[in-house]
Amino acid sequence: MEWAELFHLRFMLEYVAPMVAVYEPGVLLDYFSNAWLIKVISHYPQSDLDAYTTSFRSLMDRFELPANVKVKYNVVADQLPEEELLRRALINRPMVEVGWIKLSKEQQKERLAYSERNIRWDILERDEKVIPRVLSLNQYEAIKARLKQEVVSGLGGNNYQAIGVLRA
């Protein structure tokens, strides 16, 4: 369990408390994880991602919630096969590559530095090409927006939450 998740969940529950107090049907805090993409981009082992999911769900279970507050944690890869998710993600790659070429050398350098901070170098060989990872990270931002649009159809975004008002 990470402290950030604890504090965020607590903040969100405090944020919706006034709504819950006056609106009997209540609210739904719906968290989404696209950890499969983190695995592809940053090479995190599935066991680490599974441990995070288990830990976050365990944290959610520790809160004593009013009957009209629901908290869910959806893992995108549980809803679609990873091959299909990757196929959808790769649709944006040509656009991302064009965007990369248009960046200034300074912007490319900044993105490379960002990329290096988000890759599990302890797993990868240090001499592996970084530029494809940067394209993946930039692609990640592009597809995150697309995944956000597809939340209704069962896809999620990047460990973010959506607040929904429950109907009577």
Q: Which two tokens stand for residue 162?
A: 């959506």
pLDDT reported for residue 91:
80
pLDDT reported for residue 126:
54
CA separation for the pair 136, 92 (Å, rounded): 10
CA separation for the pair 72, 79 (Å, rounded): 14
pLDDT reported for residue 129:
57
Which DSSP string do the residues of 97-128 spell out, in sequence order?
HHHHHHS-HHHHHHHHHHHHHTS-TTTS-TTS
Alpha carbon distances (Å) from 81 to 26, 77, 84, 122: 32, 6, 5, 27
Q: Which two tokens stand for residue 78?
A: 């549980």
Torsion on CA atoms 79, 81, 86, 89, rounded to nearest 10: -30
10-residue mean pLDDT profile of the chain (168 residues): values are 86 92 90 81 83 92 92 86 80 78 86 72 58 60 55 38 50
pLDDT reported for residue 35:
82
pLDDT reported for residue 161:
45
HSE-CB at 121 with a 13 A cutoff on CA atoms is: 10
Per-residue DSSP letter, 30? E
- Crossing angle of helices 46-62 and 3-22, in 10° steps, is 40
pLDDT reported for residue 3:
87
Alpha carbon distances (Å) from 95 to 3, 38, 52, 137, 148: 37, 20, 32, 13, 19
Domain ranges for the chain, please list them. 3-165
Residues across the chain:
168
Distance of CA 146 to the CA centre of its chain: 12
pLDDT reported for residue 156:
36
